[in-house]
Structure 1
């Protein structure tokens, strides 16, 4: 699933390429990707709307449109949102195309989990957005807030980091990387972490997300950026997707376990339980 660095990469690229363009129409090839409103109304309502800006909240992309509307996109597991200047053949599994007065924006999604909403910018909102916790790179995500959430929870720390109501945008890849950077075992209980460990994890979260953004995201399976190119952060991962390979710090073999149904990677020596 594209996480904060991947979605932020897409946001920045689209903001530079399509802000100011007008949506001349939309072709819907798979109706279930339209979460709201009904597909026919979606197509009618979005036609002729100018794109005023592109923002992000957690893993959601937010397109501010003229006339007081907002387009919300969540790529879920395998969604790709790609801007193209030429109308060539569409890739397989393309479910939605926004036709622009210059080029097109297509949603391609092998697993068909991605969803799109068109809602009034004021008033009605996508309910998942209301539940999101603070942005980890914002001033709202303070060290004090994070330590307080740790102290109140007996959940395993990996599960806590993946909870979008605690902090928005972290997924499996960057949770593993942050825990490794902080030397914290993913199966430990959040409230068992010391203040020193909590502070180290707070810093690690922000550091690994910034690194992921700098490398234009992590391409392991399906992720490509807004121009269809892979990111490069997969070449800088320390533990995630590296089971059986040596830890870059101590040489111990990286292990993989299932925690909460998610594949979890860690170094048993650098991250003792």
Structure 2
């Protein structure tokens, strides 16, 4: 699933390519993607609208047009890619040595392309989603307070609100394992399995530690580690293992710099012990048992 660095990378790419473009028409090919309103109503509403702003909150993208706010969650396999009319389509798959199968840089509409924006200048924006877990919601500005999934998000790591004091307050009343807490979007928005594992490793915290057992010193290490691993992910264009591509259809490069995630059986980059994988709250967690003790 695309996490904060991947979604922010997509956002920045889209800002360069579709901001201020006018949508001539919208084509929805998979109705289950559109949660509100009905697909035909979304097509009608966004026709002739201009994209005025593209924002992000956690793992959500927020498109603002003349009259609407479009909230998009990419789910597990969602890809938003710009289609350039001056470029030739390449429908061949290429294999990245670390990430496996990835889609071509620019592709024509296929059976997994579920929504398309066709712009008045002849270019397009395609939403491709193999597993169809992505969700689109369209609101008028005066309806946006109904977007509970947006307003219930926790601290935004790249904003001035991400302070040590506010981070510490987020632990109040929490009685669960630290890995489970990191995956809770009401705690820190945008952190998923990849960056939770990476942050816990950098902070030296075992993912099964109970929140109540953490000392303030450990929480401060985690506070800094979360910001650090997310910014590193953004710097290298996101992490690609299976489906994540940026706005121009390219894979990220951060997977080559991961310390624990996806490295089961490989040597720890710090102590040379083997990285292991365990299950925490029904989710895979990667760690170094020596660097992240259960103390």
TM-score tier after normalising by the smaller chain length: over 0.9
Aligned length: 272
Q: Alpha-carbon deviation of 1:91?
A: 3.4
Aligned to 2:72: 73
**The residue matched to 1:258 in structure 2 has which SS?**
strand
Matches within 5 A, 1:143-162: 143-150=164-171, 152-162=173-183
Aligned to 1:3: 3
Aligned to 1:95: 114
Q: Alpha-carbon deviation of 1:167?
A: 1.1
Note if contact 1:242-1:254 (Cα within 8 Å) is conserved in structure 2. yes
Gapped runs of 5+ residues in structure 1? none
Note if contact 2:155-2:167 (Cα within 8 Å) is conserved in structure 1. no
| Aligned mates of 2:39, 2:174 — CA distance in 1 | 41
Render the CA deviation track for 1:226-249: whole Å, top value 9, x for unaligned.
Answer: 100000000000000000000000
Gapped runs of 5+ residues in structure 2? 90-107
Aligned to 1:245: 266
TM-score (norm 1): 0.97
| Aligned mates of 2:147, 2:54 — CA distance in 1 | 16
Aligned to 1:106: 126
| Aligned mates of 2:147, 2:126 — CA distance in 1 | 21
Q: Alpha-carbon deviation of 1:152?
A: 3.2
Note if contact 2:113-2:128 (Cα within 8 Å) is conserved in structure 1. yes
RMSD: 1.2
Aligned to 2:136: 116
Matches within 5 A, 1:126-145: 126-145=147-166
| Aligned mates of 1:195, 1:46 — CA distance in 2 | 48
4+ residue runs over 6 A deviation = none
TM-score (norm 2): 0.90
